[in-house]
Amino acid sequence: MDTTQLGLAKGKWVVANCGRFPSEKNCRLVIMAPAEQRADLVEAAATHAVASHGHENTPELRRELGEFLETIEI
């Protein structure tokens, strides 16, 4: 992937890739944030999981999402 097309700052990024979760909707949403904004990413991913996948908005959901995030270096 040529990330320069996205104009992203170099450094560590955290990625939530919904396509890695089996779902009936075949959702392929990807959300990214700089590593220092990990909390914002968990928040956005939780919002998506609740709105689109019917999860309950609980601390448990956020904990699971936190474990699911991948860290990449660009």
| Size of site (CB under 5 A) for Zn ion | 3
Closest CA to 40 of 3, 74, 65: 65
Among 27, 31, 44, 61, indicate the residue that binds Zn ion (CB under 5 A). Answer: 27
Among 13, 14, 16, 18, indicate the residue that binds Zn ion (CB under 5 A). Answer: 18
Specify the residue, 13 or 49, whose C-beta has the smaller distance to Zn ion. 49
Q: How far is CA 68 from CA 10, 20, 54, in A?
A: 22, 9, 18
Residue found under tokens 């919904």: 18
For residues 66 and 45, give the distance between their C-alpha atoms in angstroms, rounded to a whole number: 9
Span of 1-9, 19-27, 34-42, 58-66 interacting with Zn ion by CB under 5 A: 19-27
- Return residues touching Zn ion (CB under 5 A): 18, 27, 29
